[in-house]
Amino acid sequence: MAWPTALPLIAILRGVTPDEVVGHVEALIAEGFDAIEVPLNSPDWQRSIPLAVEAAGKRALVGAGTVLTPEAVDQVADLGGHLLVTPNTDPAVIRQGRARGMYASIGFTTASEAFAALAAGAQSLKLFPASSFGPGYVKALRAVLPPDVPLLAVGGVTPDNLGQYLDAGCIGAGLGSDLYKPGQPVERTHERARAFVKAYRSV
């Protein structure tokens, strides 16, 4: 298995609105991000996702996070999203995502959930919430997971601790509130994205 984009960092635009999504997508891409999700608990995501998809074009893999049902998978796919990110392990959601041709990055906490996700077709795994377990837990999981499975840390990842997760065996991370908070200026997104890319490349 291989991560599908050049930079294995997912930008999580939780809370973004349709009138601001394009500006933040452009800022992220300008700083090197090429994987972006709009969580489905964001306001009016049915408008934000196609706007993000159109703005990114072929420059980034765009889709949705916090996808909890097969029906939601279909909605995202119908809107042009190609990235499926979940906070949990639900085989039905994974299978539907794969059936719709989406790239599935699936949330898990335990080894049992990780292997269940892989059995259902997950193409990468995201440990969530990573900050509650830490790099030591990542290292222990990495010892039993197939070596070719892309593993990301999500939840509490900052430019200061990203390297610890990479050293422990993650290939990258999903970045939420330390990258983007609802209503922040586009220039702030530039700054935070730049800091994360620098941290990633310095490991």
| Residues 53-104 pLDDT 10s | 999 999 999 999 999 999 999 999 999 999 999 999 999 999 999 999 999 9
Q: What local confidence, expressed as pLDDT, does residue 148 receive?
A: 96
Catalytic (active site) residue 58: no
What would the mean pLDDT of 108-115 be, rounded to a whole number? 98
Residue 65 pLDDT? 98
pLDDT surpassing 90 at residue 115? yes
Cα–Cα dist 202/197, whole Å: 9
pLDDT given for residue 143 in this prediction: 96
Q: How would you class 151 by CB atoms within 10 Å of its CB: exposed for 0-12, middle for 13-18, buried for 19 or more?
A: buried
Q: 138-174, pLDDT tens digit by residue?
A: 999 999 999 999 999 999 999 999 999 999 999 999 9
The pTM is what?
0.97
Residues 81/62, Cβ–Cβ less than 8 Å: yes
Domains identified in the chain and CATH numbers? 9-201 (3.20.20.70)
Catalytic, out of 54, 126, 181, 198: 126
Q: How far apart are CA 7 and CA 94, in angstroms?
A: 23
Tell me, yes or no, if 126 is annotated catalytic: yes
Mean pLDDT of 113-130: 98
User: Which one of 31, 37, 71, 198 is the catalytic residue?
Assistant: 37
By percentage, how much of the chain surpasses pLDDT 70? 100
Tell me which amino acid residue 197 is: V
Write down the pLDDT at residue 134.
Answer: 97
User: Is the pLDDT reported for residue 1 higher than 90?
Assistant: no
pLDDT at residue 13 tops 90: yes
